[in-house]
Structure 1
């Protein structure tokens, strides 16, 4: 069942918003040291010495084949979220502030060095997953490969991997031993890392990756080129204002502030309609303007935003207080964001016009005082839990339970 508020329809949703793609951030793939053609050329002389005629190299792409529902998945070190499967092979990392995943295709081409003909292939999926907590400096990364098809000289193939971490991090442990590549199973490992930005006020980025190879004694050199699997950047800090707990997040994803319509009807109604009028901050796909809000930590500027949106000259009806959107603690606020004000007919602010649309400006409304106060507490809690620093982006998600 949907709820209708004015001309806007609120689609029933869920307490936790869906994951978002990282866009171009975090999706770069470190190039292999050589192309397949270069590998073939380099091994031509070697074949005359060893008698081996085929060489193998890895091609990373977007093609792949997911297993049937439920097949193989229980074998994972930690199961990937369902949205990873829903968005497999699209070339994107998907995730939230505390986890990220990607499923991509990997192909091993086995080539006759003399003729240049492909005489065999391994067809695999790569399952990459990273997860952590915003209240700890530790995080984990796992990678798995799964053979779903192949032909030619592939019997006896094995795989192993190593990890790297650069920037503000150390490697706590890494485990991906040599394993046989077997049809319809997963071979993989996991590693644990720790951020080094623990001092109050410190911030540091870390970039960790997996690097794996396939091995077979029938191939020239006995192994493939190395596959690089870099993961999205992790940011660790102890710099959230007023919150001296260190932790790590994935900054490629914005934070999310969630308000349930059923719990905060007046607050949610104001924010929802302000977003539907074109103001920024809505969760992507739920309003015309999906650009995020960005946090403002300067106290003087926050006061200016609040005073412009909700001046003391506006009469406060009994039991109500003035709510502003975008929030005073954002760069999109009334003063720092610029533009003129707007309101709703139910908001009891005669000094501002109704029916205004557009991406610039702000909205003010007199709403239930308790809801307004608890809404402000929710903002501060979200800033802490999502480790939102100055200018960090976040969205505001308005959701409703289904009847």
Structure 2
């Protein structure tokens, strides 16, 4: 998650309970996913409309971001209650799985402007607090009888989530903490490595050291691998446990089926999925990433914007969405999730990518999404 759309994960509401539903299929079929934090958490009055739409589109996975400031030892109880309340109502819509990914709501001090390198990641983020936080989150949701997927941190390769200095190393530690704590209280839950932002933002005068890292480079640093994906140091010091790998593959205005010189191999955008899978297999051969996890790829964020400098025409977005789904099926990923059912109600929100308008009006992208099989 990037830009001010992180604000969508901040508002909260309350309720509770759970439902029984099947897990993501183990077959090669791609599970269709959808996320809309505003409709499912921030404004519960919109949840019935989301559920109706999800049922129409045959959605099997819904994703949530929970807020974390890097220091709190417990999740916001109202956000947790909202997720549980959503699960209560989702059974009739055929939604069988949820994914939960904490979003670090870092401020500008995480990646300050200017020539300085910025703070160390460990100066801003407490591992002890995270251990308590993720255990409390998993404990709160463990009795929800729906398949539960977790990612340790949303888009850890964005420096506003984890500072650049030591960020990849800290992420590896947080991921392993998440795996240990979640499995201790909820062995049936799945913990995914990654949740990676798809490309590095270019450097600039304001940010000479950048604002994010390419996922390929970030993974190598986290796992202690060379540019050629060979291990350095002790494998035990760099290894992670994981049930799968989650990627965000959005690439605004780009044809998802055509590689471009604009993005290098380390940018794991949708058109580069085959490269990403190949490099993850290389990582697995070093024993620092489980080989089974490297084969289980979940695409947990994809979209085209409906406004702003990255806006794509609705007709082209609809065409590209069809191509993206075809690529996802060809690459045999486990899930393909679109971010936002509706445009956010606030026009100040920079991330607008609704399949529908903010008042529920139908776009051709929504018709296309519903028809994906």
TM-score tier after normalising by the smaller chain length: under 0.3
**Where is the strand percentage greater, Structure 1 or Structure 2?**
1
Point out the structure with max Rg over C-alpha. Answer: 1
**Where is the helix percentage greater, Structure 1 or Structure 2?**
2
TM-score normalised over the length of structure 1? 0.22
TM-score normalised over the length of structure 2? 0.23
